């Protein structure tokens, strides 16, 4: 199935990067245009663009913009680009796709000495198109596993908006829906409401009906027997299969075990951090408490504070399947995902 979404998270114009401001969805479709790495860094940090693969793709274009800007400005351009890469790396800590993409660009800069502007842009565009291809592959593999399922719940937004297109978890759901109608539930995903503002909107663009639930309704939904699977994306997967994803995923995994519901994590191999053995080593982003606090408490002398981790780690033992473009690992707690490293 081709990705039919008419809006995309990122658009390269030839000289700039257009970023769909996801903070304004679904009310407004507004693209901001960036011509330097500092701007792209801010777009990621402020969550105009979000979702692990899309963050990596945006950062890659950010490096391409940096090379365009500095390459013709004298001898020290490589130091300036290196500083921009460092800056981009500070934008958000959890999604490993960001660091993977920056490493790809560093390798190109170190090896393609002849035409650096063209080389880094080609690399960024390949990261972008490879991600879409991976999602289409994952969609089919994940849909195979969902065969016979009648209801699924997803969390956050792991769709076209969060990737190079089609989506990871939503890609699986899109592909499954093409084969047979499946009832799709989306958790609202507090506090940023990726589910309520992005996922149900994105599915509606494709004509796929969905039902929004409050996050706190998930246990009761599972108890009702309405869902067979929870399908989510990931921001970083450790070698043993532990998976970091949007805060609340771990809660859903625990609830799923209680209710006999299965959990699928769909993510490209660019989301696997081969360097870490388990999820304990994943840095969990803490965002500004003011994203959570009612405005009346947003001052220093308030007695009310907020704790705002925006990801959690689901242990592999609670995951039924990890689906990547290189294949699916069933029951990842048995052997982790290491076998995917050298898979075709
Ligand atoms: O804070 P966000 O919106 O960037 O978090 C996004 C998620 O947690 C997604 O589930 C994950 O990045 C996978 S996106 C294909």
CA of 104 to the centre of ligand 1 (A): 21
Rounded to the nearest 10°, the torsion over CA 242, 243, 244, 245 is -150
Q: What are the domain boundaries of the chain?
A: 10-132, 141-340
Q: What is the pLDDT of residues 49-102, one digit of tens each?
A: 999 999 999 999 999 999 999 998 877 999 999 999 999 999 999 999 999 999
Instruction: Could you please state the CATH topology (level 3) that the domain comprising 141-340 is classified under.
Output: Rossmann fold (3.40.50)
Establish whether residue 162 lines the binding site of ligand 1, counting it when its CB lies within 6 angstroms of any ligand atom: yes
Establish whether residue 163 lines the binding site of ligand 1, counting it when its CB lies within 6 angstroms of any ligand atom: yes
Establish whether residue 153 lines the binding site of ligand 1, counting it when its CB lies within 6 angstroms of any ligand atom: no
| Res. 2 pLDDT band, cuts 50 70 90 | very low
Q: What is the pLDDT of residues 182-240, one digit of tens each?
A: 999 999 999 999 999 999 999 999 999 999 999 999 999 999 999 999 999 999 999 99
**Which homologous superfamily does the CATH classification assign to the domain defined by 10-132?**
translation initiation factor eif-2b, domain 1 (1.20.120.420)
Which residue out of 50, 202, 271 has the highest number of ligand 1 atoms within 8 Å of its CB and is therefore the one to mutate?
50
Q: How distant, in Å, are the alpha carbons of 13, 128, 237, 281, 283 from that of 273?
A: 31, 19, 6, 10, 12
Under DSSP, the state recorded for 282 is S
Active site residues per annotation: 235
Which residue out of 10, 45, 156 has the highest number of ligand 1 atoms within 8 Å of its CB and is therefore the one to mutate?
156
In this prediction, residue 3 carries a pLDDT of: 47
Residue (of 152, 150, 141) closest to 269 by Cα position: 141
CA of 220 to the centre of ligand 1 (A): 24
49's tokens? 């663009």
Establish whether residue 53 lines the binding site of ligand 1, counting it when its CB lies within 6 angstroms of any ligand atom: yes
Domain 10-132 identical in fold to domain 141-340 = no
Rounded to the nearest 10°, the torsion over CA 247, 130, 134, 237 is -40
């Amino acid at each position: 199935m081709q990705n039919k979404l008419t809006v995309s998270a990122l658009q390269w114009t030839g000289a700039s990067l257009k970023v769909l401001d996801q903070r304004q969805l679904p009310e407004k479709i507004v693209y901001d245009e960036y011509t330097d790495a500092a701007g792209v860094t801010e777009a990621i940090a402020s969550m105009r663009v979000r979702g692990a693969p899309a963050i990596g793709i945006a950062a890659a274009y950010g490096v391409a913009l940096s090379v365009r800007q500095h390459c013709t400005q004298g001898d020290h351009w490589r130091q300036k680009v290196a500083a921009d890469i460092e800056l981009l790396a500070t934008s958000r800590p959890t999604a490993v796709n960001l660091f993977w993409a920056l490493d790809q660009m560093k390798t190109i800069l170190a090896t393609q000495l002849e035409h650096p502007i063209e080389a880094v842009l080609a690399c960024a565009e390949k990261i972008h198109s490879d991600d879409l291809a991976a999602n289409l592959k994952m969609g089919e593999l994940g849909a195979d596993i969902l065969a016979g399922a009648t209801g699924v719940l997803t969390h956050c937004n792991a769709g076209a908006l969060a990737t190079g297109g089609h989506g990871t978890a939503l890609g699986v759901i899109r592909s499954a829906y093409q084969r047979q109608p499946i009832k799709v539930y989306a958790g609202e995903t507090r506090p940023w409401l990726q589910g309520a503002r992005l996922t149900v909107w994105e599915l509606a663009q494709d004509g796929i009906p969905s039902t929004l639930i409050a996050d706190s309704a998930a246990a009761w939904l599972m108890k009702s027997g309405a869902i067979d699977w929870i399908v989510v994306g990931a921001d970083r997967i450790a070698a043993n299969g532990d998976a970091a994803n949007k805060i609340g995923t771990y809660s859903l995994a625990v609830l799923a075990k209680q209710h006999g519901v299965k959990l699928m994590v769909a993510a490209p191999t660019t989301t696997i951090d081969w360097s870490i053995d388990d999820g304990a080593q994943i840095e969990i982003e803490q965002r500004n408490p003011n994203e959570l606090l009612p405005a009346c408490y947003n001052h220093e002398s308030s007695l009310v504070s907020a704790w705002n981790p925006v990801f959690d780690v689901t242990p592999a033992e609670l995951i039924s399947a990890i689906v990547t473009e290189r294949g699916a690992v069933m029951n990842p707690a048995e052997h982790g995902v290491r076998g995917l490293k050298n898979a075709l």
